[in-house]
Structure formats: C-alpha cells, structure tokens
Chains A and B, each alone.
Chain A
Amino acid sequence: MKENLYQYILGIADNSLILGQRLGELCGHGPSLETDIACTNISLDLLGQVRNYYQYAAKIANDGRTEDDIAMLRNEREYLNVLLVEQPNTDFGYIIARQFLFDVYHLMFLNELQKSNDLTLSAIATKSIKEVSYHQRFSSDWIKRLGDGTEESRSRIQSAIDELWTYTDELFHLTEADEVMVSEGIGVDVTKLKEHYYKKVNDILEEATIQVPESKYFQKGGKKGIHTEHMGYILTDLQYMQRTYPNMEW
C-alpha cells in the first residue's frame, strides 16, 4: 500500500470531517434560522468532500475497509486533523473565527492541490474549490459584521481570534508523509502558503477592526495525532454506533 499517500489523504480528510462534525452539533441551535441553514450547508459541503477523500483512501488501503471504517474506526492517535478544527463551539464568535481561520487556509490549499500529479486528488480539489470559496466569503463577511458591529460583538470576536490564533501555525507544518508527497509532486508544500495566509487574514481582520494577535506561541500536535482534550469527546459521538454495534450495515 502507498502508505504515505494514504496518510496524506487522511490528513486532508480529517480536517474536514472534524470541522463538519463540529458544525453538525450546531444544527438547530444557530443564532437565527437563516444562519442555522447556512452553517449546516457548510457542514454538508465538508462532509461531502470527506466522503470523496475516504473513498479514495479506502481504495489505496485496499484491505477491505470502507470509507466509514476509515472515518469512524481509528483510534484517536490515528486522526491527523489540525487542532484548530476540533476547538469547541464556545459561541458564535468562536464558530466564525474557527471557520474563517480554516477557510482562508483551506482555499489556498485546494488551489495548490488542484495542480497535484495525483489525478483523483486534483479532481476532488477542483470540485471542492467552489464550495470552499463560498465558505470563505461567508466567514469573512461575518468576521466583518462581528468585528465592526457592536462593542459586545467586537470584544467577543476579538477573544475568539486571540484564543484560536495559537492553532494557526500548525496549518503550515509538514509531516514526514507530507514531505514525501511534496517531493513526488502529489502534495502541497504548505510552508509556502504561510506568508500569503497571514497577509490575507490580517487584511480582513483589519478591515473588521479586529486586532491581529501578536502572540508568537503556537500549539501543534494534531498532524501527528496528539490532540487537545476535546478530541476524545468528538470521537465518542462520531464512533458511537460503529463501536457499539460492530460489523453492521446501516
């Protein structure tokens, strides 16, 4: 099996899976009916993309596991998503901040992944770009509304950005599998996206009158399967049925 490619796909897919799962928790609890529908749409887009990736991973693994086995039956240490996406829905400010900080990265990433030598990955990227462009538009618009809205909203979105900032640097780390994939022209060299990312993020934050955090202390670990304490609970829900009723079809 092409171990590096398999790991590489999981790295991409797990981000969207966990973020989609987080947004799924929100459904029915949004600040307005219209916003509820919008957040669910983003969740649906992400989970749709996820299925494409895991189906591909299942094909590469070729050991009888299905997309669901791969998505739902790994141990926590085997999930490779970044720490950012597993952060909780503390309030709508955190939801938007997390979305925005991820969307800007996600869109840049997919734009590069489109050029991959791997035709399946490139095709998934091309298909996903339109959806993710919309996500970025949605979250950037809300960043501006909350930043330049009321005093309360500015202070809330500022706290969310401050708190989540520490998870942004990890987006640009390369794992060993990533490095191999980059060298083979399959993977994206995310280190090259970093400068552009912070410029774009800073521009929008400034427009939204939100202060760009100055902290230089960053967290990492998700890409190596070392997660925050939130992750176990996310997986408890995600894996509940598959673990409780093994080997059944639904």
Chain B
Amino acid sequence: MSEEQIKNLEEQFEARIARDEKIEPKDWMPEKYRQTHIRQISQHAHSEIVGMLPEGNWITRAPSLRRKVALLAKVQDEAGHGLYLYSACETLGISRDVLYEQLHSGKAKYSSIFNYPTVTWADMGAIGWLVDGAAIINQVPLCSTSFGPYARAMVRVCKEESFHQRQGYEIMLKLCNGTPEQKEMAQDALNRWWWPSLMMLGPTDDASVHTEQSMKWKLKRKTNDELRQQFIDQTVPQADILGLTIPDPDLKWNEERGSYDFGEIDWDEFWQVVKGHGPCNKERMKARVGAWERGEWVRDAAMAYAEKQQERKEKQAV
C-alpha cells in the first residue's frame, strides 16, 4: 500500500470512529490503534488479576461467613473480569501467554494501587469503596469505547462491578456503626487508601502522554484531572455519612467551582510505585509468576490428555 492509500484509510477510519461506529477485530485499523489497545486492555486485565491478591489475602480471615462468601465472590469476579479483558485483547492477535509474559517480565504495567498491602479487615471495605469507586469512574465511559470487543467486555464488567463498591461501603458502614475500635480501623484504612486512590486516576493532565489520542479513540471521555475531581466530589459526602475524615487538611468546598479543592498529591510516591518500588510490587509479581509456573505441569497435562482423547476418537472412527 502506498503512503497515500494508508493516509486515506486512516482518514476513513478516524471518520468512522467520529461517527460512533464500532471497530471490530478484523476491520482494518492503524497499527498504532492496535498497539494502543493491546497496551490499555492488557494493562486493564493485568490490574484485575493482580488486584485479586490484596483482597485474596483476607479470604481465609474474613470475620463472618457472610463476609467470607461475599469476598470470595468478589475476588472471583475479578478473575472473570480479567478473563473477559484478556479475551478482548486476544482478538487483536496477541495470545494470553504473551500477555502474561509481558506482565511477568515487568514490561506491562498494572494499576499501582495493588502494590499497597492490605493490613486490616477494614482495607476490604476501603478497597471496595474507594478503589472500586475510582475504577467505576474510569470504566463506565469505556462501555461506549470505539473497539467493539473492549466495549462489550466493559459492559459486562460494569454490570458486575456495581456490587463490589456497595459491598465495600457496607463493610465500612458496619465498622463505623460498631465499636470505637472498629471505627478507628475504618478511619485508618481511609487514611492509607485515600491518596493512592486519587493517584489511581492517573497523572495530571499536563504530565499525561496519552490523553489526546485516547480521547479521539474514545478510550477516554474525560481527562485524568476531570475524573479525579468527579471522584472526590462524589466520595466526600459518602465519607460524611460514615462519619470519617478525609485525610487532607486542604480539602474544602469551593462554592464558585461547585467542587472540592484538594491538597497536593505526592507524585514522587506515585512514580516510585509505578517504577516497581512500592511496598508490595515484588510480592505481587512473585505470586503471579509462582502461580503460573506451578501451573505449567497442570496445563501441559490437560493438553496431553485432550490430544490423546482426540487420537482415540479418530482411531475409533477408522
């Protein structure tokens, strides 16, 4: 194809997206679109899978049977979401084990927030309330993103995700209505998860490299700063209902803007964690790589068995 032909195709392609048409896997697409989508969808899938670990940490210690089954079901959903997203990513012509390799080698990123430890039961509440809350804000707009398989996966994810945030908030509510010790546990969890949750919505707009292109492809509908503001504005009143204090002395309602002003985020901490030096980066990777390596003989056995069965079937047919 000549350069001009490609340019022509690209223009048609961008026009289709602008008309809100969906792009399907076998359609022609610019290489950059493919690569960007592989990067974003897989990063999203990895986040689901790594995200299972901090919460999985509390399954055996959940304080009641009701909480135990609810937490198990939630972590299982995350596995399901990871699976939907890996599948969507695979339609772009990359296999799941290549994606795993990228994760395991540190080449692919996942949401940094999962590199923080879950040290008390209240963290199950804070993660559901704040982390899933921030995730939903990020994800809902993706239900109408331009790449069909991604949009469809996100519809499914968002439908299932809504129970996660409620579960988290309910855990917090119970703690805040409980003994002083329980309420203190809840406040402590909010103190530790608040800032990482704000960071989760991404670097500030002036430091974000992908925003403009992502907007065009509907991988993003709002900028990181807009999403962060939305998150803060909706979360502060929820903290009030719990009777908890947001750990930000600069947080203040701004009548003029109709939004909360908030304090400076520690971006040095953010970049430290992104670059692999958060409190749990190494443990998380060790857990993922370990599970994959310990599973190898199992996966091989299942394949070998399937092939033997197939051969037997073919022999019978002869």
Direct contact of A and B (CB under 8 A): yes
Residues on A close to B: CB < 8 A?
21, 24-25, 27-37, 40-41, 43-44, 47-48, 50-51, 54, 67-68, 71-72, 91-92, 144-146, 148-150, 152-153, 156, 234, 237-238, 240-242, 245, 248-250
Number of A-B contacts (CB under 8 A): 141
Q: Which residue of B lies closest to A45 (CB)?
A: B69
B52, B76, B298, most chain A CB atoms within 10 A: B298
Within 8 Å of chain A (Cβ to Cβ): is B295?
yes
A-B contact pairs, 20 of them (CB 8 A): A24-B60, A31-B298, A32-B295, A35-B298, A37-B76, A40-B72, A51-B66, A67-B65, A68-B64, A68-B66, A146-B301, A150-B304, A153-B300, A153-B304, A241-B121, A245-B182, A248-B181, A249-B178, A250-B63, A250-B64
Q: Residue B65 contacts which of A41, A50, A92, A156 (CB distance < 8 angstroms)?
A: A50
Contact (Cβ within 8 A) B79 A28: yes
Contact (Cβ within 8 A) A28 B304: no
List 14 additional A-B contacts (Cβ < 8 Å) besides A33-B82, A250-B64, A250-B174: A25-B60, A27-B52, A28-B75, A33-B79, A37-B83, A40-B72, A44-B72, A47-B65, A72-B64, A148-B308, A149-B302, A150-B300, A238-B60, A238-B61
- B175 CB to closest chain A CB (Å) equals 8
A50→B42 CA distance, assembly (Å):
37
By a CB distance below 8 angstroms, the chain B residues around A144 are 305
Q: Which residue of A lies closest to B177 (CB)?
A: A249
A33→B76 CA distance, assembly (Å):
10
- B177 CB to closest chain A CB (Å) equals 8
Q: Which residue of A lies closest to B307 (CB)?
A: A149
B4-12, B235-243, B286-294: which lies at the interface: B286-294
A145→B306 CA distance, assembly (Å):
8
Contact (Cβ within 8 A) B69 A27: no
A28→B77 CA distance, assembly (Å):
11
Q: Residue A241 contacts which of B63, B72, B79 (CB distance < 8 angstroms)?
A: B63
By a CB distance below 8 angstroms, the chain A residues around B59 are 24-25, 27
A241→B277 CA distance, assembly (Å):
31
- A115 CB to closest chain B CB (Å) equals 27
Interface residues of B in 37-86 (CB under 8 A from A): 49, 52-53, 56, 59-69, 72-73, 75-76, 79-80, 82-83, 86
B73, B121, B296, B305, most chain A CB atoms within 10 A: B305
Interface residues of B in 81-99 (CB under 8 A from A): 82-83, 86
A30→B68 CA distance, assembly (Å):
19
Within 8 Å of chain A (Cβ to Cβ): is B316?
no
Using a Cβ–Cβ cut-off of 8 Å, how many residues does chain B contribute to the interface with A? 49
Residues on B close to A: CB < 8 A?
49, 52-53, 56, 59-69, 72-73, 75-76, 79-80, 82-83, 86, 121, 171, 174-175, 178-179, 181-182, 287, 290-291, 294-306, 308
Contact (Cβ within 8 A) B61 A44: no
A54→B65 CA distance, assembly (Å):
10
By a CB distance below 8 angstroms, the chain B residues around A250 are 63-64, 67, 121, 171, 174-175, 178
Q: Which residue of B lies closest to A21 (CB)?
A: B60
By a CB distance below 8 angstroms, the chain A residues around B182 are 245, 248
Contact (Cβ within 8 A) B72 A47: yes
